[in-house]
Amino acid sequence: MNINIYSNDYIKKHLSNGFKVGVTIGVIISLAVCIAVGLPLFIASFSVINLIIFFGLAITLTLISAVASGIIGSIVSLLFHSSKDLIRHGKKFQGRATKLEKTDSGIRMSLDTSSSNESINNSRDSTPTSPDIKSLDSAISLDNEKFDEIGAYNTLVYQTMKKYNYKYWLQQHDIAYIAKVKYGWTESSLIKRIFFCIPGDVNSLNERLKEYKKMAENQKAIFASIINLGGNHWVTLVVTTGPDDKFSAYYCDSLSTQLPRCAIGKITDDIQLANEITEACIEPLSTESNSLIREKENGPDNQPIDEKKKYTEETLNLCRESKNKLVNKEINTNYIMGTLQETLKIDKNNVRSFKSQQQNDGYNCGIFALKNAKIITQMFSEDKSLDDVDEALLEYKPDLKQLENTRKEFAKALGNDKEWKDAVSSGMFIEDVVSVIAYPTII
Protein backbone atom coordinates (compact mmCIF):
# COMPACT_ATOMS: atom_id res chain seq x y z
CA MET A 1 0.00 0.00 0.00
CA ASN A 2 1.24 3.50 -0.85
CA ILE A 3 1.39 5.89 2.09
CA ASN A 4 1.81 9.55 1.31
CA ILE A 5 3.15 11.40 4.37
CA TYR A 6 1.66 14.62 2.99
CA SER A 7 -1.83 13.22 2.52
CA ASN A 8 -4.73 14.25 4.75
CA ASP A 9 -5.40 10.63 5.76
CA TYR A 10 -1.81 10.08 6.91
CA ILE A 11 -1.72 13.33 8.88
CA LYS A 12 -5.15 12.82 10.47
CA LYS A 13 -4.33 9.25 11.48
CA HIS A 14 -1.16 10.10 13.38
CA LEU A 15 -2.50 13.33 14.83
CA SER A 16 -5.54 11.44 16.14
CA ASN A 17 -3.54 8.54 17.55
CA GLY A 18 -1.03 10.88 19.15
CA PHE A 19 -3.77 13.00 20.69
CA LYS A 20 -5.42 9.97 22.27
CA VAL A 21 -2.14 8.79 23.79
CA GLY A 22 -1.32 12.31 24.97
CA VAL A 23 -4.73 12.73 26.64
CA THR A 24 -4.30 9.42 28.48
CA ILE A 25 -0.85 10.39 29.72
CA GLY A 26 -2.09 13.85 30.72
CA VAL A 27 -4.97 12.44 32.78
CA ILE A 28 -2.66 9.99 34.54
CA ILE A 29 -0.14 12.73 35.37
CA SER A 30 -2.78 15.14 36.67
CA LEU A 31 -4.40 12.47 38.84
CA ALA A 32 -1.01 11.51 40.23
CA VAL A 33 -0.26 15.15 41.10
CA CYS A 34 -3.65 15.59 42.75
CA ILE A 35 -3.23 12.45 44.83
CA ALA A 36 0.40 13.12 45.76
CA VAL A 37 0.09 16.84 46.56
CA GLY A 38 -3.57 17.82 46.99
CA LEU A 39 -4.91 14.86 48.89
CA PRO A 40 -2.61 15.24 51.97
CA LEU A 41 -3.47 18.96 52.18
CA PHE A 42 -7.17 18.18 51.88
CA ILE A 43 -7.04 15.55 54.62
CA ALA A 44 -5.14 17.92 56.92
CA SER A 45 -7.87 20.58 56.67
CA PHE A 46 -11.05 18.69 55.81
CA SER A 47 -14.23 20.67 55.18
CA VAL A 48 -17.07 20.78 52.65
CA ILE A 49 -15.70 23.96 51.07
CA ASN A 50 -12.22 22.45 50.78
CA LEU A 51 -13.78 19.31 49.27
CA ILE A 52 -15.49 21.40 46.57
CA ILE A 53 -12.32 23.38 45.93
CA PHE A 54 -10.23 20.20 45.78
CA PHE A 55 -12.45 18.49 43.23
CA GLY A 56 -12.80 21.69 41.20
CA LEU A 57 -9.04 22.17 41.01
CA ALA A 58 -8.54 18.48 40.26
CA ILE A 59 -11.01 18.53 37.36
CA THR A 60 -9.58 21.79 35.96
CA LEU A 61 -6.01 20.53 36.21
CA THR A 62 -6.99 17.25 34.58
CA LEU A 63 -8.69 18.98 31.62
CA ILE A 64 -5.81 21.38 31.07
CA SER A 65 -3.26 18.60 31.36
CA ALA A 66 -5.23 16.32 29.03
CA VAL A 67 -5.64 18.93 26.29
CA ALA A 68 -2.02 20.11 26.50
CA SER A 69 -0.67 16.57 26.53
CA GLY A 70 -3.00 15.64 23.66
CA ILE A 71 -1.71 18.47 21.47
CA ILE A 72 1.90 17.68 22.29
CA GLY A 73 1.27 13.97 21.71
CA SER A 74 -0.34 14.54 18.31
CA ILE A 75 2.60 16.68 17.13
CA VAL A 76 5.20 14.26 18.46
CA SER A 77 3.37 11.30 16.90
CA LEU A 78 3.19 12.91 13.46
CA LEU A 79 6.85 14.00 13.54
CA PHE A 80 8.00 10.61 14.81
CA HIS A 81 6.12 8.51 12.24
CA SER A 82 6.84 10.78 9.26
CA SER A 83 10.56 10.90 10.15
CA LYS A 84 10.64 7.14 10.63
CA ASP A 85 8.94 6.53 7.26
CA LEU A 86 11.23 8.99 5.47
CA ILE A 87 14.33 7.36 6.95
CA ARG A 88 13.04 3.89 6.14
CA HIS A 89 12.28 4.88 2.58
CA GLY A 90 15.60 6.65 2.23
CA LYS A 91 17.41 3.43 3.08
CA LYS A 92 15.23 1.52 0.65
CA PHE A 93 15.93 4.00 -2.13
CA GLN A 94 19.64 4.04 -1.32
CA GLY A 95 19.71 0.29 -1.74
CA ARG A 96 17.87 0.49 -5.04
CA ALA A 97 19.62 3.41 -6.70
CA THR A 98 23.05 1.87 -7.00
CA LYS A 99 24.64 4.34 -9.37
CA LEU A 100 24.25 7.25 -11.71
CA GLU A 101 26.53 6.98 -14.65
CA LYS A 102 27.12 9.06 -17.75
CA THR A 103 26.75 7.24 -21.05
CA ASP A 104 27.02 8.23 -24.67
CA SER A 105 23.28 8.89 -24.76
CA GLY A 106 23.09 10.91 -21.54
CA ILE A 107 22.63 10.14 -17.84
CA ARG A 108 21.53 6.68 -16.83
CA MET A 109 20.44 5.47 -13.42
CA SER A 110 21.06 1.83 -12.58
CA LEU A 111 18.52 0.49 -10.11
CA ASP A 112 18.27 -2.70 -8.14
CA THR A 113 14.59 -3.61 -8.13
CA SER A 114 14.91 -7.16 -6.87
CA SER A 115 13.44 -6.23 -3.47
CA SER A 116 10.40 -4.33 -4.72
CA ASN A 117 8.86 -2.84 -7.81
CA GLU A 118 6.60 0.17 -7.96
CA SER A 119 4.51 1.94 -10.54
CA ILE A 120 4.14 5.65 -10.87
CA ASN A 121 0.57 6.89 -10.87
CA ASN A 122 0.12 10.60 -11.26
CA SER A 123 -3.64 10.44 -11.07
CA ARG A 124 -5.64 10.87 -7.91
CA ASP A 125 -6.59 7.20 -7.80
CA SER A 126 -4.58 4.05 -7.12
CA THR A 127 -3.95 1.88 -10.13
CA PRO A 128 -3.91 -1.89 -10.59
CA THR A 129 -1.05 -2.88 -12.83
CA SER A 130 0.21 -5.88 -14.69
CA PRO A 131 3.01 -8.04 -13.27
CA ASP A 132 6.02 -5.81 -12.63
CA ILE A 133 9.13 -5.91 -14.75
CA LYS A 134 12.16 -7.65 -13.32
CA SER A 135 14.61 -4.81 -13.72
CA LEU A 136 14.53 -1.15 -14.69
CA ASP A 137 17.92 -1.68 -16.33
CA SER A 138 16.27 -3.74 -19.03
CA ALA A 139 14.90 -2.20 -22.20
CA ILE A 140 11.44 -1.84 -23.68
CA SER A 141 11.07 -3.12 -27.20
CA LEU A 142 8.59 -1.51 -29.57
CA ASP A 143 8.60 -2.57 -33.21
CA ASN A 144 12.11 -4.01 -32.74
CA GLU A 145 13.36 -0.66 -31.44
CA LYS A 146 14.78 -0.22 -27.94
CA PHE A 147 14.98 2.75 -25.65
CA ASP A 148 16.27 3.39 -22.17
CA GLU A 149 13.59 2.26 -19.74
CA ILE A 150 14.56 4.43 -16.77
CA GLY A 151 14.50 7.49 -19.03
CA ALA A 152 10.95 6.60 -20.05
CA TYR A 153 9.76 5.67 -16.56
CA ASN A 154 7.54 8.72 -16.05
CA THR A 155 5.95 8.69 -19.50
CA LEU A 156 2.70 7.54 -21.06
CA VAL A 157 4.61 4.98 -23.13
CA TYR A 158 6.19 3.21 -20.17
CA GLN A 159 3.11 3.35 -17.97
CA THR A 160 0.80 2.10 -20.74
CA MET A 161 2.98 -0.42 -22.57
CA LYS A 162 4.89 -1.90 -19.64
CA LYS A 163 2.79 -1.24 -16.53
CA TYR A 164 -0.66 -1.44 -18.13
CA ASN A 165 -1.44 1.61 -16.03
CA TYR A 166 -4.43 3.29 -17.65
CA LYS A 167 -4.80 5.82 -14.83
CA TYR A 168 -1.47 7.52 -15.36
CA TRP A 169 -1.93 11.28 -15.45
CA LEU A 170 -0.45 12.79 -18.61
CA GLN A 171 2.53 15.11 -18.09
CA GLN A 172 3.31 18.18 -20.19
CA HIS A 173 5.96 16.32 -22.19
CA ASP A 174 3.43 13.58 -23.00
CA ILE A 175 0.94 16.12 -24.32
CA ALA A 176 3.57 18.05 -26.30
CA TYR A 177 4.85 14.92 -28.07
CA ILE A 178 1.38 13.50 -28.69
CA ALA A 179 0.33 16.80 -30.27
CA LYS A 180 3.41 16.70 -32.49
CA VAL A 181 3.35 13.02 -33.46
CA LYS A 182 -0.42 12.53 -33.82
CA TYR A 183 -1.58 15.97 -34.94
CA GLY A 184 1.55 17.54 -36.38
CA TRP A 185 1.41 20.49 -33.95
CA THR A 186 4.52 22.02 -32.41
CA GLU A 187 5.11 25.05 -30.22
CA SER A 188 8.03 26.23 -32.30
CA SER A 189 6.34 26.70 -35.67
CA LEU A 190 3.01 27.25 -37.41
CA ILE A 191 1.94 23.97 -39.03
CA LYS A 192 -1.31 23.50 -40.91
CA ARG A 193 -2.31 26.99 -39.76
CA ILE A 194 -2.31 25.80 -36.14
CA PHE A 195 -0.57 28.00 -33.57
CA PHE A 196 -0.12 25.47 -30.74
CA CYS A 197 1.06 26.02 -27.19
CA ILE A 198 0.98 24.60 -23.65
CA PRO A 199 1.27 27.74 -21.51
CA GLY A 200 2.67 27.23 -18.03
CA ASP A 201 1.35 30.39 -16.37
CA VAL A 202 -0.72 33.49 -17.04
CA ASN A 203 2.28 35.37 -18.44
CA SER A 204 3.07 32.69 -21.03
CA LEU A 205 -0.60 32.39 -22.03
CA ASN A 206 -0.83 36.16 -22.44
CA GLU A 207 2.39 36.39 -24.46
CA ARG A 208 1.40 33.57 -26.79
CA LEU A 209 -1.98 35.18 -27.39
CA LYS A 210 -0.20 38.41 -28.30
CA GLU A 211 2.00 36.51 -30.75
CA TYR A 212 -1.06 34.88 -32.24
CA LYS A 213 -2.89 38.21 -32.52
CA LYS A 214 0.02 39.71 -34.44
CA MET A 215 0.22 36.66 -36.70
CA ALA A 216 -3.53 36.71 -37.36
CA GLU A 217 -3.23 40.21 -38.80
CA ASN A 218 -1.41 38.77 -41.82
CA GLN A 219 -2.73 35.24 -42.21
CA LYS A 220 -5.55 32.94 -41.21
CA ALA A 221 -4.51 30.86 -38.20
CA ILE A 222 -6.02 28.97 -35.28
CA PHE A 223 -4.72 29.27 -31.73
CA ALA A 224 -4.87 25.83 -30.06
CA SER A 225 -3.76 25.47 -26.46
CA ILE A 226 -3.90 22.82 -23.78
CA ILE A 227 -3.80 24.46 -20.37
CA ASN A 228 -3.20 23.07 -16.89
CA LEU A 229 -5.47 24.54 -14.22
CA GLY A 230 -4.04 24.65 -10.72
CA GLY A 231 -1.42 22.02 -11.49
CA ASN A 232 -3.92 19.17 -11.60
CA HIS A 233 -6.34 19.42 -14.52
CA TRP A 234 -5.91 19.76 -18.31
CA VAL A 235 -8.38 21.82 -20.36
CA THR A 236 -8.60 23.09 -23.93
CA LEU A 237 -8.77 26.63 -25.31
CA VAL A 238 -9.02 27.26 -29.08
CA VAL A 239 -9.27 30.68 -30.76
CA THR A 240 -9.97 31.57 -34.37
CA THR A 241 -10.94 34.55 -36.52
CA GLY A 242 -14.16 34.83 -38.51
CA PRO A 243 -14.91 36.44 -41.87
CA ASP A 244 -15.15 39.79 -40.08
CA ASP A 245 -11.65 39.27 -38.63
CA LYS A 246 -13.10 39.21 -35.12
CA PHE A 247 -11.84 36.62 -32.66
CA SER A 248 -13.95 33.74 -31.40
CA ALA A 249 -12.88 31.40 -28.61
CA TYR A 250 -14.04 27.96 -27.54
CA TYR A 251 -13.20 26.61 -24.08
CA CYS A 252 -13.69 22.95 -23.19
CA ASP A 253 -13.26 21.42 -19.76
CA SER A 254 -14.10 17.72 -19.69
CA LEU A 255 -15.54 18.21 -16.19
CA SER A 256 -17.92 20.87 -17.60
CA THR A 257 -16.51 23.88 -15.72
CA GLN A 258 -17.14 27.00 -17.81
CA LEU A 259 -15.43 30.34 -18.26
CA PRO A 260 -17.02 33.28 -16.45
CA ARG A 261 -18.92 35.76 -18.58
CA CYS A 262 -16.44 38.45 -17.56
CA ALA A 263 -13.21 38.35 -15.58
CA ILE A 264 -13.17 40.19 -12.26
CA GLY A 265 -11.82 43.74 -12.31
CA LYS A 266 -8.45 43.23 -10.63
CA ILE A 267 -7.49 40.45 -13.03
CA THR A 268 -8.25 42.49 -16.13
CA ASP A 269 -6.49 45.52 -14.58
CA ASP A 270 -3.37 43.42 -13.85
CA ILE A 271 -3.26 42.00 -17.39
CA GLN A 272 -3.81 45.42 -18.92
CA LEU A 273 -1.03 46.94 -16.81
CA ALA A 274 1.31 44.04 -17.65
CA ASN A 275 0.67 44.62 -21.36
CA GLU A 276 1.36 48.35 -20.95
CA ILE A 277 4.62 47.65 -19.11
CA THR A 278 5.68 45.31 -21.91
CA GLU A 279 4.86 47.76 -24.70
CA ALA A 280 6.09 50.95 -23.03
CA CYS A 281 9.11 49.65 -21.13
CA ILE A 282 10.26 46.08 -21.70
CA GLU A 283 10.21 46.03 -25.50
CA PRO A 284 12.02 49.38 -26.05
CA LEU A 285 14.50 48.67 -23.24
CA SER A 286 15.24 45.22 -24.69
CA THR A 287 15.90 46.80 -28.08
CA GLU A 288 18.15 49.40 -26.46
CA SER A 289 20.02 46.74 -24.47
CA ASN A 290 20.70 44.67 -27.60
CA SER A 291 21.92 47.76 -29.41
CA LEU A 292 24.32 48.59 -26.57
CA ILE A 293 25.62 45.02 -26.54
CA ARG A 294 26.52 45.36 -30.23
CA GLU A 295 28.17 48.73 -29.59
CA LYS A 296 30.10 47.21 -26.70
CA GLU A 297 31.41 44.47 -28.99
CA ASN A 298 32.71 47.12 -31.39
CA GLY A 299 34.24 49.24 -28.61
CA PRO A 300 35.02 47.03 -25.59
CA ASP A 301 36.82 49.83 -23.71
CA ASN A 302 34.08 52.42 -24.09
CA GLN A 303 33.23 53.35 -20.47
CA PRO A 304 30.11 55.48 -21.22
CA ILE A 305 28.58 52.55 -23.09
CA ASP A 306 29.31 50.26 -20.13
CA GLU A 307 27.53 52.60 -17.75
CA LYS A 308 24.56 53.10 -20.07
CA LYS A 309 24.29 49.35 -20.67
CA LYS A 310 24.35 48.65 -16.93
CA TYR A 311 21.66 51.26 -16.25
CA THR A 312 19.49 49.98 -19.10
CA GLU A 313 19.71 46.37 -17.93
CA GLU A 314 18.92 47.31 -14.32
CA THR A 315 15.87 49.26 -15.45
CA LEU A 316 14.82 46.40 -17.72
CA ASN A 317 15.05 43.92 -14.84
CA LEU A 318 12.94 46.18 -12.62
CA CYS A 319 10.27 46.38 -15.33
CA ARG A 320 10.28 42.61 -15.72
CA GLU A 321 9.93 42.12 -11.97
CA SER A 322 6.97 44.53 -11.91
CA LYS A 323 5.32 42.67 -14.76
CA ASN A 324 5.95 39.26 -13.20
CA LYS A 325 4.23 40.32 -9.99
CA LEU A 326 1.12 40.96 -12.07
CA VAL A 327 0.97 37.92 -14.33
CA ASN A 328 3.41 35.31 -13.06
CA LYS A 329 0.42 33.39 -11.66
CA GLU A 330 -1.22 29.98 -11.99
CA ILE A 331 -3.82 29.89 -14.72
CA ASN A 332 -7.48 29.68 -13.76
CA THR A 333 -10.73 30.36 -15.60
CA ASN A 334 -10.81 34.03 -14.57
CA TYR A 335 -7.30 34.60 -15.92
CA ILE A 336 -8.19 32.82 -19.18
CA MET A 337 -11.19 35.09 -19.64
CA GLY A 338 -9.12 38.10 -18.61
CA THR A 339 -6.45 37.47 -21.24
CA LEU A 340 -9.11 36.96 -23.92
CA GLN A 341 -10.76 40.24 -22.95
CA GLU A 342 -7.66 42.40 -22.54
CA THR A 343 -5.20 40.95 -25.04
CA LEU A 344 -7.53 39.93 -27.88
CA LYS A 345 -10.29 42.43 -27.02
CA ILE A 346 -12.69 39.61 -27.67
CA ASP A 347 -16.43 40.16 -27.33
CA LYS A 348 -17.85 38.04 -24.50
CA ASN A 349 -20.60 36.87 -26.86
CA ASN A 350 -17.89 35.29 -29.03
CA VAL A 351 -16.61 33.12 -26.18
CA ARG A 352 -18.24 29.72 -25.79
CA SER A 353 -17.76 27.09 -23.08
CA PHE A 354 -18.77 23.47 -23.52
CA LYS A 355 -21.50 22.75 -20.98
CA SER A 356 -21.68 18.94 -20.91
CA GLN A 357 -19.54 16.74 -18.68
CA GLN A 358 -17.45 14.23 -20.59
CA GLN A 359 -15.13 12.89 -17.89
CA ASN A 360 -16.26 10.70 -14.99
CA ASP A 361 -12.88 9.85 -13.47
CA GLY A 362 -9.87 11.63 -12.00
CA TYR A 363 -7.16 10.77 -14.51
CA ASN A 364 -8.26 11.10 -18.16
CA CYS A 365 -8.36 14.91 -18.41
CA GLY A 366 -5.22 14.96 -20.59
CA ILE A 367 -6.74 12.51 -23.06
CA PHE A 368 -9.93 14.55 -23.27
CA ALA A 369 -8.00 17.81 -23.65
CA LEU A 370 -6.07 16.43 -26.62
CA LYS A 371 -9.08 14.90 -28.35
CA ASN A 372 -11.20 17.99 -27.74
CA ALA A 373 -8.46 20.23 -29.13
CA LYS A 374 -8.39 18.14 -32.30
CA ILE A 375 -12.17 18.25 -32.70
CA ILE A 376 -12.42 22.01 -32.14
CA THR A 377 -9.52 22.93 -34.42
CA GLN A 378 -10.90 20.68 -37.13
CA MET A 379 -14.26 22.41 -36.92
CA PHE A 380 -12.68 25.87 -36.98
CA SER A 381 -10.49 24.84 -39.93
CA GLU A 382 -13.72 24.09 -41.80
CA ASP A 383 -15.11 27.52 -40.78
CA LYS A 384 -17.81 25.91 -38.66
CA SER A 385 -19.76 27.94 -36.10
CA LEU A 386 -19.60 27.72 -32.31
CA ASP A 387 -22.92 25.86 -32.42
CA ASP A 388 -21.39 23.33 -34.82
CA VAL A 389 -18.52 22.81 -32.37
CA ASP A 390 -21.05 22.12 -29.60
CA GLU A 391 -22.64 19.40 -31.72
CA ALA A 392 -19.31 17.81 -32.63
CA LEU A 393 -18.19 17.64 -28.99
CA LEU A 394 -21.53 16.19 -27.90
CA GLU A 395 -20.88 13.25 -30.24
CA TYR A 396 -17.57 12.45 -28.52
CA LYS A 397 -18.63 10.13 -25.69
CA PRO A 398 -15.88 7.57 -25.10
CA ASP A 399 -16.24 4.88 -22.45
CA LEU A 400 -13.33 3.69 -20.31
CA LYS A 401 -12.38 0.96 -22.78
CA GLN A 402 -12.22 3.45 -25.64
CA LEU A 403 -10.12 5.79 -23.49
CA GLU A 404 -7.73 2.91 -22.74
CA ASN A 405 -7.46 2.23 -26.47
CA THR A 406 -6.71 5.91 -27.09
CA ARG A 407 -3.90 5.72 -24.53
CA LYS A 408 -2.49 2.67 -26.34
CA GLU A 409 -2.76 4.46 -29.68
CA PHE A 410 -0.92 7.51 -28.35
CA ALA A 411 1.70 5.40 -26.54
CA LYS A 412 2.47 3.31 -29.62
CA ALA A 413 2.81 6.43 -31.77
CA LEU A 414 5.29 7.96 -29.32
CA GLY A 415 7.20 4.72 -28.86
CA ASN A 416 7.79 4.55 -32.61
CA ASP A 417 8.79 8.21 -32.95
CA LYS A 418 12.53 8.73 -33.35
CA GLU A 419 12.55 12.20 -31.85
CA TRP A 420 10.71 11.00 -28.75
CA LYS A 421 13.10 8.07 -28.33
CA ASP A 422 16.07 10.39 -28.75
CA ALA A 423 14.64 12.61 -26.02
CA VAL A 424 14.35 9.61 -23.72
CA SER A 425 17.89 8.47 -24.48
CA SER A 426 19.30 11.95 -23.87
CA GLY A 427 17.80 11.97 -20.37
CA MET A 428 15.28 14.71 -21.08
CA PHE A 429 12.76 13.17 -18.66
CA ILE A 430 15.30 11.85 -16.13
CA GLU A 431 14.78 14.74 -13.69
CA ASP A 432 11.11 13.85 -13.38
CA VAL A 433 12.00 10.21 -12.86
CA VAL A 434 14.53 10.91 -10.10
CA SER A 435 12.17 13.27 -8.28
CA VAL A 436 9.32 10.75 -8.42
CA ILE A 437 11.51 7.92 -7.12
CA ALA A 438 13.50 9.95 -4.57
CA TYR A 439 10.59 11.95 -3.16
CA PRO A 440 7.64 9.65 -3.70
CA THR A 441 4.73 8.34 -1.80
CA ILE A 442 6.24 6.25 0.98
CA ILE A 443 6.14 2.51 0.44
Q: How confident is the model at residue 1 (pLDDT cuts 50, 70, 90)?
A: very low
- Check pLDDT > 60 for residue 430: no
* Residue 75 forms part of a structural domain: yes
Closest CA to 361 of 16, 88, 124: 124
Q: Find the Cα–Cα–Cα–Cα dihedral 318, 321, 322, 325, rounded to 10°.
A: -170
Question: Which tens digits make up the pLDDT trace of 179-219?
Answer: 999 999 998 777 778 999 999 999 999 999 999 999 998 88
* Residue 297 forms part of a structural domain: no
Q: What is the mean pLDDT of residues 357-380?
A: 96
- Check pLDDT > 60 for residue 119: no
The pLDDT score that the predictor gives to residue 10 is 63
Q: Find the Cα–Cα–Cα–Cα dihedral 319, 321, 325, 327, rounded to 10°.
A: 70
pTM of the model: 0.65
Q: H/E/C letters for each residue in 351-406? A: EEECCCCCCCCCCCHHHHHHHHHHHHHHHHHCCCCHHHHHHHHHCCCCCHHHHHHH
The pLDDT score that the predictor gives to residue 122 is 39
* Residue 65 forms part of a structural domain: yes
* Residue 82 forms part of a structural domain: yes
Looking at the structure of the chain, the number of domains it has is 1
**161 neighbors 186 (Cβ within 8 angstroms):** no
Query: Helix, strand or coil for residue 154?
Result: coil
Query: Helix, strand or coil for residue 436?
Result: helix
Question: Which tens digits make up the pLDDT trace of 31-63?
Answer: 887 777 766 766 766 677 777 777 787 788 888
Considering all CA atoms of the chain, what is the largest pairwise distance in Å, rounded to the nearest integer? 102
* Residue 157 forms part of a structural domain: no
Written as one string, the DSSP assignment of 15-52 is: HHHHHHHHHHHHHHHHHHHIIIIIHHHHHHT--HHHHH
- Check pLDDT > 70 for residue 440: no
Query: Which of 12-21, 259-268, 287-296 has the largest mean confidence?
Result: 259-268
* Residue 255 forms part of a structural domain: no
* Residue 38 forms part of a structural domain: yes
* Residue 308 forms part of a structural domain: no
Question: Which tens digits make up the pLDDT trace of 327-346?
Answer: 999 999 999 999 999 999 99
Structural domain harbouring 80: 8-97
Query: Long-range contacts of range 288-296, CB-CB < 8 Å, 24 or more positions apart?
Result: 288/312, 289/313, 289/316
